[in-house]
Structure formats: structure tokens, C-alpha cells
Structure 1
Amino acid sequence: MDSPISAMREKPLDGADDVDNLFRASEKEESRRPTVDPEDSPYAIVRATVSNKDDTSLPTITVRFWLLAVPFTIAVSLFNQIFWFRTLSVTITGVIVQLITLPLGKILERVLPPKSVGIGRFRFSLNPGPFNAKEHALILVATSSATSIAYAVDIIVIKKVFYMQDTPLLGSILLTLTTQCIGYGLAGVCYKYLVRPAAMIWPSQLVSIALLRTFHEEDADRRGSVSRMRFFLTVTLISAIYYFIPGFLAPFLSTISILCLAMPGNVTAARIGSFTKGMGVLSFTLDWNGITSSLASPLMTPFWAIANIFVGFIIFVWVVIPSGFFGTNTWDAQNFAIFGSALYKGDGSKYPTLTMLNPDLSLNESKYAEVGAPRMTYMFAISYGIGFAGLSAVLMHIVLYYGREIIQRFRESRDVVNDVHCRLMDHYPTVPQWWYLLTLTLSTGLSILVCEVYGTDLPWWGLLLAVLMAAFFLLPIGIITAISNQTPGLNIITEFVIGYIMPGRPIANVTFKTYGYIGMAQAITFLGDLKLGHYLKIPPRDMFLAQLTGTILAGISNVLAAYMMFAIMPDVCTTEAWYCRNAHVFFNASVIWGVIGPNRMFGTEGYYSALMWFFLAGALLPIPFWLLARRYPNSWVKYINIPVLLAGTGIMPPAYPGSFPSWFFVGFIFQFFIYRYRQKWWARYNYILSAGLDAGVAISSFLIFFALSNNGIELNWWGSQPDCPVLENKL
């Protein structure tokens, strides 16, 4: 289930409280300050993390950058795309890239000769001096496109696997690149409003800046303690060795379901206790990847957010779901599995999606009249309701908590003369507007070509409408992201719009959604990276080059990796280990919104029309807690965040219920207990521990796949059986 917001926030490395509280603290502090030093930022959270100095002599786009950014972008995008198909996916994150490229950059600093070479009129040094934070940040920016999978790959996969349609390789590459790059052209229009102003803080970028400054401005070794780098390497080694057990020898350790083990033939017990196919009661995992495959690392998420998400999980999964499923049997829920993204007929049999379509994939009305609308698992239906509620809740939350600030900050954004970071950045030439316009024009033109030639079923005017929607929402949502770290998504709105305009067109629906939703999301990502460069005083043209290079390399690599998986594993997305959870959800969304259409599913004609009330419920829910927080500003009520509470639960499926209790337990230990009682250790090692665990899992997964699984080497014993076999084929 696509989450309507990206609501989880990371803590600054200095061990301060979460970004939201720091932001409010800075406001209180400024109200007490008669004047603000013009040689520093007017905001405390920025002053605490960002340097107000700049060394203009530091090199940025260097030979070291190309030697590290290009291979890492390709390798990370290939790795992440391959393991995106895996049921418990493995991802190399930006933090891992940051940590691994640090020693490699230092090695290149030592081994490359300080020799100047020339290519035509251009001359450059092979080794221009010490490996610095600006170079490191540019490598991170380039590879950041590879750490997340291009959204358009979902279209390619569902066309191949579920709709049995091949897409030419060139068409797939153009589809992926245009959906990723079209937002970059839109971003240029908003640069002076969302990047240059001091009022646009972009709190999420402060974590990367803190880590980069730690690496490049502090001595990693402290007397009497282990260096961060040594700690990272040790954790990585232990994690890689250990993951060989749940990753190959005993997969059951990834999804331990106590009730299924105790009552293996009891369907009710399995529905209640299954890690992957039920409610996850008394389920847990001894696999780090089982904890983080769908949720952000609990070591990188502040405890207030962890608590909100887990409370939402308890309310919806352990209270609402059993009440509706076992109690009232709402929507004939017991005819279907309790959890999963599969679609069914009314009698519980598999919904015959392909037989409902004409050769051009449009809906066959006579077939539909015979079969009727699809039914969903109860948890899948509720997750859509939560998605509806989350969309309206985040908008209401932003209006209530940040409405005045948004207006104030937008007014402030027009006056950026006195901001020290803007004055320092004025030493560097800006990106010409024609660069952005050219990117937008080329991307839009190629997008129209893709829509008209490569079987997306979306007419040219639909593509332009998607781009206009992305452009319309970019500035307001960009302001929300820049000051509150929350990004409302356009996925549900875009599905709704095109679903009503073009019902019965699944590929057109997902294509429209991708161009609209990802077009804006990529623009927000690019603007955030530009703010990172703004804080670090990296020339904007270098940032543009690094981001665009990484996006193009990562997009092509994603497509090639997907086609490689199609060739290596003809049964990909159909096995227990390689189930492609995201692709299944994406496909079923294409059926719900595209084949059937929102009116027949959720409108007046729909079996699930009651879910539309969740829009109203989501809009109303933040109000009482906002009133209570104003009445009792120093109480725990101020930590209740309805959008965050809803967002975590709204990602099931594809997220598994069983991962939430283990995720909360680990988060409680590190983000509450250790943070409160061992704060020095937490500040020094917490993020490094998370990165080391991620790196170890990634390395071990890579070795297991290519050395064992790819060669047909598998173990078949009790510990390798699927979770709760009594619910087999009920995903």
C-alpha cells in the first residue's frame, strides 16, 4: 500500500530531541533574542548543525567523485533492484554509501598522483588534495537515486508478470528516465522559494550534514573508546556472518509465529498469529532485515514516531481487524484471507483479472457483468481506508500545526538578502533557468513519445495533465516539506482523478499516477538535495550535474536489473522467497483503480463505499489532539501525531504485521532506554550501529544470492518451510 506521506523523521546526530521539537525550541529561543547575528542562520536548529563558514578552494567534481559515484550508483541500483523482487527485500541505504565511500575516498587521496592532466582546453588534477565533505556529499547525492527503486519499474514488472505484455527495452528505459527526470525541470521554478530562503529549513538534510561534518571535521578516535569506523566494520562483519543463518540456513528465524508453531493445523490461530499472513500476535523476528524490510530502521526513527506508529498498529491490527473479521464479518471478510493484497470473487476464489480484459487491456463490460467487482482481504480494505484518512489527516495536521508558519515562511522567503548561507552561495554561479526548462521540455517530449509509442494507453493530454498536477502541488507541498519534514503524496489523488476520467484502463492509470506522483516527489527530492548543497556551500551547477548523472545511471541500471531477473527467474513474483510484494500491491491497485475504477469500488456503486468516510474521519482526528496540545502544551499529548499514527499502518500490505512488534521493541531499547540513560554512547554509535547492521545484511544477501540461490543450492528442512503453511497461497 503506497503511504500517503513520508512522515518518519531522523534525529540529529548531536543527540538533541527530534526535529519537530528542535524547530519549536528555535522559535521560542528567537522570541527571546533581541537580535540575530547576521553572520549566522536566524534558526537555532541550523546554527547547531550547519557551519556559517565556507572554503571556496575545496574541490567538488573531481576524479575521485567520478571513480566512486559512477560505480557505486550502478552497483547499488543493480543490487537494490534485484533484491526489490525478494519477499523480504534488502536495501543498501544512503548511510551505508556514506560510510563505505569515506575510507575509499581517503585511499584514493593517498594513492592517486597529484598530477595535472588535460583534455583539450580542460585541465584538472588527478588528486587535488584531501578528500573533503563537499566531494563526499556529491557522491551521496549521485548515489541517492540508486538507494531507492525507480517507481516506473513497477509498471514494467506488472505488465510483464501479470498482464503478460512485453515492453521493448528502450521503451522501459525512456519510461523510467522521464518519470524520474521530469520533476527536475519543475524544481528549477521553485529554487528561489524553497532552497535559498533561510525560512526553508529542510530538517531532513541536517542529519546528513551532521554525519558528514563528523567524518570530515572531527577526529574519529577518542581516548578510551572505539573509533566509529572500527565499530562500523565490526558490526558489519558480525551482521554479515549472522545473517547467513536466517538468510539461508534457517529462514524461519525471519518470521517466527508462536501460535502457528504451537497449533500448526489451526487456521484461526494462524490468522491471529502469522507473521506474514495474519495479525502478527506473538510473532517476532531474529532477522534485522525482517525488522527493516518495510519500515525505516528503528535506530533512525525518533521514539515519539515509533510510539505513534505502534499505537496505530495496535488500534487497527489488533483491535479493528479482529472486530471486523471475527466479530461482525464485515464485507464477508471470512470468505477471504485476513491479510494480503490478493483480489477475490465473492465466493472466495481468485479474481480472474486477465479474463476481464479486452486485448487492449480495457475492461470487458460483459465479463464484468458476469463476475462483478473484486473483493479484498479485510486488512487490505482497511489499509485503503487508512490511506484515505492519512491523506486528509496530514493536510489538516499541517493547517493546524503549521498554517501560520507556512504563510509567515513564504513571506520571509521573498527576503533572503541577510541570510549568511545565501551570501556565501552567491560566490558560485547559479544553475541557468534554461537548464531546468530544457530538462523539463526534453522529459515531457520523450514522455509523450513513450505514451504514444510504447503501449502505456495514456493519451498525450493525460500526460500533460499529470505534469500539471505535479507542478500545481509542488510549491505548497514543498513548503510543507521544507518546514515540517512531512511530504503529502499524490498517489491516491492521481489514481482517483485518472480512474474517474479513464475507467477500465489499468496501464493508463498507473502511468498517470507515476508521472504525477513521482514527478512531484522527484522535484521535492532534488530541491532537498539542493538545500544540502546550499548548507555545505557546494556549487549549484555541480549539484545539478551529480543528481542528473546519478538519476540517469540508476534508472538504466534498474531497468537492466529487472530484465535480468525476468531472464534468470521466469517464475519471479510467484514464489515464497521472491514474491515481489510491492509489485503485487501495485498490480492490485491497477485493477482496483484502473480496471474497475474508483466509482465501482468506493463510490456509490461500490461494495466498499463506506471507506470514503475515512476521508472525513482523517480530517477530524487531528483537531481534538491539537486542542488538547494547546490546552496542555507541556503534556505528553503534544507528541500525538495522527498522520504518523496512520502512515505506519497504512503500508500493510506490503509490510508484514509481524515486523511491527519487533520493530517497536528494538526502537524502545535504543531510542528510549539507551537514548535516555546512555546518551553519550547513543550519540556516538547509534547511527553507526544501524548502518553496520544494514551493510552486513546487504553483503551477506549478495553472497547468498549469487553463490547459492542463483546456482540452485537450497536447503529443504523444517526450518526452511514457509510461515504458517496452513495459510499457504493466502498472501
Structure 2
Amino acid sequence: MDNTLTLSEKDLAHLQDEKLDVSELEQQLQLNEEEDSPIEEVRVTVPNTDDPLIPCNTFRMWFLGLLFTIIISFVNQFFHLRQTTITIGYSVVALISLPLGHLMARTLPTRQFSLFGFTFSLNPGPFSIKEHVLIGTMTSCNTYAAYAVDIVVLQNIFYHDKKPFIAGLFLVLTTQITGFALAGALRRFLVHPAHMIWPSTLVTASLFRSLHAQENEDDRGRTPRMKFFLLVTLGSFLWAWFPGFFFPTIGTISWICWIDPHNSILSTLTGSNGLGIGTIALDWGAATQYVMPLVTPWFAQVNILIGFVLVVYVMVPWAYYTNLWDSKLYPILTAALFRPNGSSYDVNEIMTAGVLDEAKYKAYGPLRMDSFFALTYGIGFAGLSATVVHVVLYNGREMLDRWKSARQQTEDVHSRLMRAYPEVPTWWYLSLFIVTFTLSMVTCVVWGYMPWWAVLLAFGIAIFFVLPVGIVQAVTNQQPGLNIITEYVIGYMLPGHAIANVTFKTYGYIVNIQALTFVSDLKLGHYMKIPPRIMFLAQVVSAVIASTLNLVTATWLLNTRPNICTKEGYPFTCRSTKTFYSASIIWGAVAPDRVFGNAEGAIYSPVQWGFLAGALLPLPFWFASKMYPHFKWLTFVHWPVLLAATSNMPPAQPYMYTNGLFIGFIFAFLLRRYRYHWWSRYNYLTSAALDSGVAVAGLVIFFCIQSWGGAMPFWWGNPDSDDPDPVAGALDHCPLAALNFYEW
């Protein structure tokens, strides 16, 4: 391993000073060299050594970390309200901050300064990997625009109910930061155990190791990791211009549909806007967005594949072509809402002052959706109950043991190395929770977002599910969401109240998501040996700044952009916020009883059986695995992952899954099995490099060309959507896939 030489030098020096027996030293060296993580993916990615003297709590770290926190908070919120969204992610910040860190290390003064009794230097030495990881962490936990900002936008634009700025600020801060308080209680279950690997953090660890790798770490005759990373990033950057600008059609090649694009059935089954059978995606972002094929373990991808096939290729065609719930009146795959006659559903016709008007609703008629959309809700119900049952069956004993004897648990080498750093006191996390919970209660009650009991219930849901969902994500890299169940619960308890519904969802869903995001960062810090107290301060400070800037940016746009969130306000059309608005109507205003329950006009009530189905499905496989332990494949049947396979469709398209799973078969199965040395060295690095190239290309294309009014001329590979010929004007040249059965 790369640390053997250093270890030997230390031990030889120790031998000379202490005159130890040579055979005793050899036994000690053998133990040290063999001591490593029991998880293969971790062994090949994370070094089993640490130097506690490496500086990390430095001026450089805080300056660059806060600088990038401010930049991405503004940019990502700015683009969140635009028709075309761009998100500056972890890899971009890591790449840009590296040369800046080295520049500061070369130029800042090295003399000591004294401030409030503390002595420090602006330049303690070379820019370190630990400083770099902390800079990335300060931005990663704030990569996406704060979810609660959409509530403020809804109230201002759609419901015309403007609240004071301080109310929105408290709403955003509490929903974004409360999760971090929960993360402290999850450390012993989701961070310290070796088998809670958090696959996505391995990609990040590989990226940082490669950016800071020295030449002597690379095997002779093999491409250095840094060189490999830069070459793949460059290739990804150059290629991204083709599907992203020059030749968009190759992003989704529906080649089977091209045989006869006027054949409606062929279009529905093979078009990228239909079931996407045979569609090839040459856009790396589209092909890997929902599966992350180089990161997700192969057994989890097999579960995703099984769930995908059962839903998309079996259930959906059966429901559509048997006209279940009048499916043929609507496209086979869409998130749009309809009236019973197939026309678009205008939610403004049923609302008065942001609350459902019963008389208007009865006059206008019930809400309808396509069968795929309805089925995915039912499968989401099943996935949630399956998560709880699966974790209890497969991880319940372990969780109980850890609860009883957390400090006596068996540790791996990384946990032992982390003993060198003081742990964050529990009272820090507890105090943060008390403050954020109190602010949440005050915000919701004083400014009328929702009743006090709803706050308690939302927190209860988030806390109840955070551990089982976290275990699933830590092992499989898949995250079952709570958005459906939170909307469902409050929709029954407070029907007709749209703002209360989305507020409840935000507290129940986003607090859970943020907790697991912070836990993931804590796991990265665990792998990279970041002092926990520095990590705590970096995360909290950056989260407060980012949340505030998200709201300030959105408020500025609302006050300065005319016709924002309308077609006339292009490019600020608020596409994501409009989806959020539709959800507030379905679950809040109309309410689940009128859509999925037993009220008059509700026809989707069978999907509620998903709760029972999901609770029962793991049972026979668990019993079978106990009765027939020699059938090892039974232990890899993971119902939460299998049922969550289609949870992102729509807006995800089926071809995104098929292409991602095919890439996963190559990297996670073939290369790992037959080219293990390459896989162990380059797999996670390849994932980070490809993502980085696409992200940088997207920024360059937008800021250097599109923001200045530049555009690629229309041609067959870049069709004009206004072309009178629907085939010529469709991006994939397969337009009939988006039509309903009777429009064929």
C-alpha cells in the first residue's frame, strides 16, 4: 500500500531507539499492513493512514469556503427560477478552489498573528487535502436551492399572500439546519460502522485524493491519477458540447422510432417521451442522473432493473392499453394534470384566496392524471412501508445492539484513527435542535403556515424515518423520499390548505433529506480524517449563509423581474416551482381524499393498497433467506430499492434508467470482475471526472454563449420546435410519444 514505506521508516527508527526484538517488529508491521477496512470499495479508495498535524482550520479554508458558499448560493438559486437550470456542484468547486488554495499558500504572509488570545498564521504551509475537503463540504451541503424558498415564491406569485421577510427567513433556516441537529444522533449508526459505506462519498474521496496525489503514489507504468482525471475531464468537457449545444438530437436517439415516426404505437413504446425502449442517451448527465451507475453497487442496480422492468414494461402497458382509469385520454407518461375529458386542468378555476372553493370544484370537475403517474404514487407508498419493514428485519438486531452498547462496538481502522480528534459534544447538537425547533414552532404559528400540532407531527415523521432511510442510502446509494407520505398525511388532516400542505412536506421531507446530507458529509470527513468539531462549525456556518442568500436572491428576483413565473417572464419561468405548485394543489387544495380516497369523483383509491403491499413483500424473502441460507441471492433482494426504482418518474424518463443500468453493467459488474485493478484505481475517479466535465461545459455554454443571446442554428440535429412538421420539430424526431391514444 502507499503508506508502507513511511510506516517502515517510523518502525525502524523506533527499533533503533527502543532496541525492540526484530521478530516482534515484523509481527507488528504485518498487523499494521493488514489492518484496513473490511469493505472492498473503501479499501481501494480511502487510505488507512492519517497525519493529525495536517492543517485544516485555516484562514485559507474559511476564506475560500465562505467565498464559494456565497457564489453557489446565489448562482444556484438564480438558475433555479429559470427555464433552464444549472447547478454548480461539488466537483466544479473542488477543481476551481485547488489552484486558488495553492496560490494563497504561495502568496500569503507566514508570520504569526494574535487575535483575542489566539495565535495563528495566514499561511501555515502547503495547501492541504483536509482544507480542500472542508471547502468542498461547505458548498456541498448547500448545492441545491433551499426547498422552502419555493413556499415563499408560491405565496408571492400564485397565492398573493406576501409574508414578512423575517418569516420566510426563519422558515428557510429552520428547514435547512434542523436536519444537521439530527445528524449528530445518527453518527454512531450511520457514520462509525464500517459497512455503512455511503458510496457517493467514495467518489468524492477519490476525487480529492487524485487532486492531491504525488507522483510516488502511482504504480510504475500506470497513468497517474491526476493525469487520468484531467484527461477524462477534458474529454467529457469536449463531448458535452455536442448533446449540449451543437447536436442535441444525439442526447436521446430513439432509433427504433425513426423506422416509422408516424406509427403511434411504435412512438409510444420507443420514443424518449414514451417508454423509451431502445432509446440511446449519449448525454452523460441524462444517462446517469438517476442511477449513478459507477457509484451504485451492482446488487442495488439489479434490484433497480427488476423494479423498473416490472413497472415500466409490465404494469404501465397493461394499465394503458386496458384503459385503466381512462388512461387513453392522456399521454402514457406525463406529470400534467387533466380534466375527465382529457383537457388540461386549470387550477385557478377551483381556488379562492389560496384555499379550495368547494362550489367551484364541483362545478369544474375532479382532477385526473395518467395511469403511470398514479401508479408511481402507489409504488411510492409501497416503497416507504417496505423500507421500514426491511430495515427492521435485516438491520433491527444490529441497531438494537448499537443502541445498547454504542461505545463498545467493533471499529475499523478509520474509526480508530478518528480517535485522535475530539468528538463534537452531544450538547452542541442538542442545543442546535432546541433552537431550530423553537424557531420552527414560532414561525409556523405566528405567521400562520400551519398549526403547532402539525409542526410536531412533521418532525415526528422526519425523525421516525431518518434512520431506516439512512441505512438504505448508506448501503445502496438510493434514497426513498418522504415527500409523498408527508403530503398524504397532512392532506387528510388539513384538506383544502395548500400552504399548510407544502410547509408540512418541507419540514417532514427536507429535514430528513438535510439530515442525511449532513451525515454523508460526516462520513466523508470520517474517511478523510477531518476533525469533527471543525466539520460541525463549517457546516453550520455555511448553511446559515447559504439559506439566507437563497432567500435574498429569490426575493430580489421577485421584486425586480417583471412577469416572473409566467411565459411572458421568460427566461424566469419558474419551471421547478410550478411543479411544486401543482403538488400543492393535488395534495393540499384538492386533497388526497378527492384524488386517492373515497370522496366523490376519486378513482385512484386502489393505489393506497401500496402501503400494505410494501409491508408484506419483504417478509417471504427474509424468511426464505433464514430457511435456505445457502441461497445467497436471497440476501440481495432489496425491496426498498426495487420499489423506489421508478420513484423519480416523472420527471425522469425511462430511457435514463435503461442507459444508466447498461453503463452500470459495464463498470460495476464487468470491469470490477474482469479488470479489477483498473476498476479499483480509476472507477470512482472516472465518475467524478465525467461529472466535472459536463458541469464545466454547461457553465461555459450558458455564460459565454446563451446568456449573450447566442444560439446554435437550427438543423436536423438541432430541430426548431416551431417547425410545422411535428417530426422535424421534435428533439428526438419522435413526436407522437407525447400524445394521448386518441390523438394518434
With the length of structure 2 as denominator, give the TM-score of the two structures. Answer: 0.82
What does 1:54-69 align with in structure 2 at a 5 Å threshold? 54-69=50-65
Separation in 2, partners of 1:709, 1:196: 43
- Relative to structure 1, the CA distance from residue 670 to residue 651 in structure 2 (aligned partners, 3 Å threshold; closer, same or farther) is same
What does 1:542-561 align with in structure 2 at a 5 Å threshold? 542-561=534-553
Q: Which amino acid aligns with 1:665?
A: F
Contact 1:118 1:124 in 2 (8 A): yes
Separation in 2, partners of 1:167, 1:431: 37
Q: 2:611 aligns with which of 607, 611, 615?
A: 615
How much does 1:508 deviate?
0.7
> What residue in structure 2 maps to residue 27 of structure 1?
none
> What residue in structure 2 maps to residue 302 of structure 1?
297
What does 1:650-729 align with in structure 2 at a 5 Å threshold? 650-714=647-711, 715-718=713-716, 719-720=718-719, 721=721, 722-723=730-731, 724-726=734-736
> What residue in structure 1 maps to residue 449 of structure 2?
457
How much does 1:588 deviate?
2.8
> What residue in structure 1 maps to residue 405 of structure 2?
412
> What residue in structure 2 maps to residue 336 of structure 1?
330
> What residue in structure 1 maps to residue 266 of structure 2?
269
1:51-72 CA deviation, whole Å, 9 max, x = no partner? 6765433322112212321222
Give the 3-state SS of the residue equivalent to 1:550 in structure 2: helix
Separation in 1, partners of 2:172, 2:621: 42
- Relative to structure 1, the CA distance from residue 693 to residue 84 in structure 2 (aligned partners, 3 Å threshold; closer, same or farther) is farther
Separation in 2, partners of 1:83, 1:508: 26
1:256-279 CA deviation, whole Å, 9 max, x = no partner? 32355444444443322221x311
How much does 1:74 deviate?
3.0
Give the 3-state SS of the residue equivalent to 2:141 in structure 1: helix
Q: Which amino acid aligns with 2:370?
A: T
Q: Which amino acid aligns with 1:646?
A: L
What does 1:465-504 align with in structure 2 at a 5 Å threshold? 465-474=457-466, 488-504=480-496
- Relative to structure 1, the CA distance from residue 475 to residue 286 in structure 2 (aligned partners, 3 Å threshold; closer, same or farther) is closer
> What residue in structure 2 maps to residue 231 of structure 1?
228
Q: 2:357 aligns with which of 364, 372, 390?
A: 364
Q: 2:504 aligns with which of 507, 512, 529?
A: 512
Separation in 1, partners of 2:487, 2:101: 44
Q: 1:640 aligns with which of 632, 637, 646?
A: 637
Separation in 1, partners of 2:214, 2:89: 23
> What residue in structure 2 maps to residue 377 of structure 1?
370
- Relative to structure 1, the CA distance from residue 195 to residue 267 in structure 2 (aligned partners, 3 Å threshold; closer, same or farther) is closer
Give the 3-state SS of the residue equivalent to 2:171 in structure 1: helix
Give the 3-state SS of the residue equivalent to 1:376 in structure 2: coil
Give the 3-state SS of the residue equivalent to 2:665 in structure 1: helix
Bigger shift: 68-77 or 654-663?
68-77
Bigger shift: 93-102 or 37-46?
37-46
How much does 1:347 deviate?
0.6
Bigger shift: 486-495 or 278-287?
486-495
> What residue in structure 2 maps to residue 319 of structure 1?
314
> What residue in structure 1 maps to residue 725 of structure 2?
none
> What residue in structure 1 maps to residue 15 of structure 2?
none
Contact 2:36 2:413 in 1 (8 A): no
Contact 2:79 2:85 in 1 (8 A): yes
How much does 1:431 deviate?
3.7
- Relative to structure 1, the CA distance from residue 729 to residue 79 in structure 2 (aligned partners, 3 Å threshold; closer, same or farther) is farther
- Is 2:346 the partner of 1:352? yes
1:506-539 CA deviation, whole Å, 9 max, x = no partner? 1111111111222233233334433444555433
Q: Which amino acid aligns with 2:648?
A: I
Q: 2:110 aligns with which of 94, 110, 114?
A: 114
Give the 3-state SS of the residue equivalent to 1:300 in structure 2: coil
Bigger shift: 311-320 or 621-630?
621-630
How much does 1:400 deviate?
2.6
How much does 1:38 deviate?
12
Separation in 2, partners of 1:231, 1:84: 33
1:27-66 CA deviation, whole Å, 9 max, x = no partner? xxxxxxxxxx999989723994766765433322112212
- Relative to structure 1, the CA distance from residue 224 to residue 101 in structure 2 (aligned partners, 3 Å threshold; closer, same or farther) is farther
Separation in 2, partners of 1:477, 1:657: 24
How much does 1:341 deviate?
1.0
- Relative to structure 1, the CA distance from residue 563 to residue 470 in structure 2 (aligned partners, 3 Å threshold; closer, same or farther) is same
> What residue in structure 1 maps to residue 514 of structure 2?
522
Give the 3-state SS of the residue equivalent to 2:119 in structure 1: strand
1:243-291 CA deviation, whole Å, 9 max, x = no partner? 222222232222332355444444443322221x311123222211221
> What residue in structure 2 maps to residue 626 of structure 1?
622
How much does 1:196 deviate?
8.1
- Relative to structure 1, the CA distance from residue 271 to residue 55 in structure 2 (aligned partners, 3 Å threshold; closer, same or farther) is same
Larger gyration radius, structure 1 or structure 2 = 2
Q: Which amino acid aligns with 2:660?
A: W
Contact 1:431 1:541 in 2 (8 A): yes
- Relative to structure 1, the CA distance from residue 81 to residue 237 in structure 2 (aligned partners, 3 Å threshold; closer, same or farther) is farther
How much does 1:111 deviate?
3.6
How much does 1:483 deviate?
7.3
What does 1:78-477 align with in structure 2 at a 5 Å threshold? 78-82=74-78, 84=80, 90-98=86-94, 100-159=96-155, 163=159, 170-188=166-184, 190=185, 193-194=188-189, 201=196, 203-204=198-199, 205=201, 208-209=204-205, 212=208, 219=215, 221-275=218-272, 277-292=273-288, 294-326=289-321, 328-359=322-353, 361-415=354-408, 428-452=421-445, 457-474=449-466
Give the 3-state SS of the residue equivalent to 1:151 in structure 2: coil
- Relative to structure 1, the CA distance from residue 661 to residue 166 in structure 2 (aligned partners, 3 Å threshold; closer, same or farther) is farther
How much does 1:337 deviate?
1.7
Question: What RMSD over aligned residues (CA atoms) do the two structures have, in Å?
Answer: 3.7
- Relative to structure 1, the CA distance from residue 559 to residue 694 in structure 2 (aligned partners, 3 Å threshold; closer, same or farther) is farther
For structure 1, the 5+ residue unaligned runs are 1-12, 14-36
Separation in 2, partners of 1:168, 1:230: 52
How much does 1:95 deviate?
4.5
Separation in 2, partners of 1:50, 1:420: 11
How much does 1:540 deviate?
2.7
Give the 3-state SS of the residue equivalent to 1:375 in structure 2: coil
Give the 3-state SS of the residue equivalent to 2:113 in structure 1: strand
1:662-707 CA deviation, whole Å, 9 max, x = no partner? 2222222222222222222222222222222222221221122223
Q: 1:589 aligns with which of 574, 583, 586?
A: 583
Q: Which amino acid aligns with 2:337?
A: L
How much does 1:422 deviate?
6.6
How much does 1:374 deviate?
0.9
- Relative to structure 1, the CA distance from residue 306 to residue 577 in structure 2 (aligned partners, 3 Å threshold; closer, same or farther) is farther
- Relative to structure 1, the CA distance from residue 198 to residue 663 in structure 2 (aligned partners, 3 Å threshold; closer, same or farther) is closer
Separation in 2, partners of 1:699, 1:86: 19
- Between the aligned residues of both structures, percent identity stands at 44
> What residue in structure 2 maps to residue 70 of structure 1?
66
Contact 2:110 2:121 in 1 (8 A): yes
> What residue in structure 2 maps to residue 18 of structure 1?
none
| Aligned positions, number | 690
Give the 3-state SS of the residue equivalent to 2:120 in structure 1: strand
Contact 1:91 1:147 in 2 (8 A): yes
> What residue in structure 2 maps to residue 32 of structure 1?
none
- Relative to structure 1, the CA distance from residue 51 to residue 288 in structure 2 (aligned partners, 3 Å threshold; closer, same or farther) is closer
Contact 2:672 2:679 in 1 (8 A): yes
> What residue in structure 1 maps to residue 12 of structure 2?
none
Q: Which amino acid aligns with 1:530?
A: L
- Relative to structure 1, the CA distance from residue 280 to residue 87 in structure 2 (aligned partners, 3 Å threshold; closer, same or farther) is farther
Separation in 2, partners of 1:238, 1:463: 49
